[in-house]
Amino acid sequence: MTTATTPAVRVDAFGLTDIGRVRKINEDHFVIVALRKAVELRQCSIADPQVFHRYEGPEALLFVVADGVGGQPGGAFASETAITTLVEYLGQAAGCYHNLDVRREHEFLEQLESAVRSAHERITREEGGAHGPATTLTMAMLVWPRAYLVHVGDSRAFYLRRGRLRQLTRDQNMAEFMVESGAWTEEQARRARTGEILVSAVGAAEMMPSIGLVDLQPGDTLLLCTDGLCKHVPDERVVEILGRSASAEAACRELVDAALADGGTDNVTVVVARMV
């Protein structure tokens, strides 16, 4: 469990992944990382050390889920490589979120997108081109009170506020593409066997990162998940579980259990962050 304190809230965060009841290997991965400034107050003689507090503790929290493309060799490698490359890139560029203001947000989002492109290039370089393993990737960088998102594929990000669940990402798959273009109705998309085919993935021939942001409030809950959850647990059930859970860990365990109880046909991964 990760607990971090911002000037306004305590962030209770936890992640969990499960192989499911059908798959032979787990191709999902996740990470929760606190990015910190270098200054850490150990001791001082100043009467009021509050002046140093702005240099202490996590300045940003990074949440990532990745789902290796099923049916292709190396899906687990792709999701692991995407996450490790992302953390390595952002760790080296950790200063990009210090003193972040509205004027620098565009630059900050470019840094996040560049981190995803770096992961894409590493996977294609190490695995022999765009026809090798690939992965979805959904990340949220929390610099209170704003969460910055970069999304590729059909993993999802949501946030819960006062009992209402809002989806922050759009699936980059054939169903969504055909509906958006007007070629299919929503009903046709639900029935189509090819609807789940990805049109964008990290390491694939097409990789189109989608970026966005959302302002959070105390009491909100952020959820990142792979499609192994969405296939089995409807939004209403997600709202119920997130709303009554006493902790991020309890919410993760109940969400995964709900996906498994409904069949667990895919790997399932969830990351929950509660703004307490």
Q: Which domain holds residue 219?
A: 2-170+204-275
Number of domains present in the structure of the chain: 1
Give a yes or no: residue 155 inside a domain.
Answer: yes
Omega cis (within 30) before 145 = yes
> Is 136 in a helix, a strand, or coil?
coil
Residue 255 pLDDT > 80: yes
CATH number of the domain residue 61 falls in: 3.60.40.10
**N-to-C CA span, the chain:** 14
Give a yes or no: residue 189 inside a domain.
Answer: no
Give a yes or no: residue 196 inside a domain.
Answer: no
Residue 238 pLDDT > 70: yes
Render pLDDT for 104-153 as a digit per residue (tens, 0 to 9): 778 888 889 999 999 999 999 987 666 678 999 999 999 889 999 999 99
Find the helix or strand (DSSP H, E) in which 178 lies: helix 174-181
Which of 19-23, 41-45, 142-146, 245-249 has the lowest average pLDDT? 41-45
Give a yes or no: residue 242 inside a domain.
Answer: yes
Extended beta strands in the chain, E state: 2-5, 10-18, 28-36, 58-67, 137-143, 146-152, 156-161, 164-167, 210-215, 221-225, 268-275
Render pLDDT for 141-188 as a digit per residue (tens, 0 to 9): 998 899 999 999 999 999 999 999 999 999 998 888 888 888 888 888
Share of the chain above pLDDT 70, in %: 85
- CA atoms in the 13 A half-sphere facing the CB of 158: 25
Give a yes or no: residue 194 inside a domain.
Answer: no
For residue 212, which amino acid is it? Answer: G
Give a yes or no: residue 244 inside a domain.
Answer: yes
Give a yes or no: residue 190 inside a domain.
Answer: no
Distance, CA of 52 to CA of 132 (rounded, Å) = 49
Give a yes or no: residue 68 inside a domain.
Answer: yes
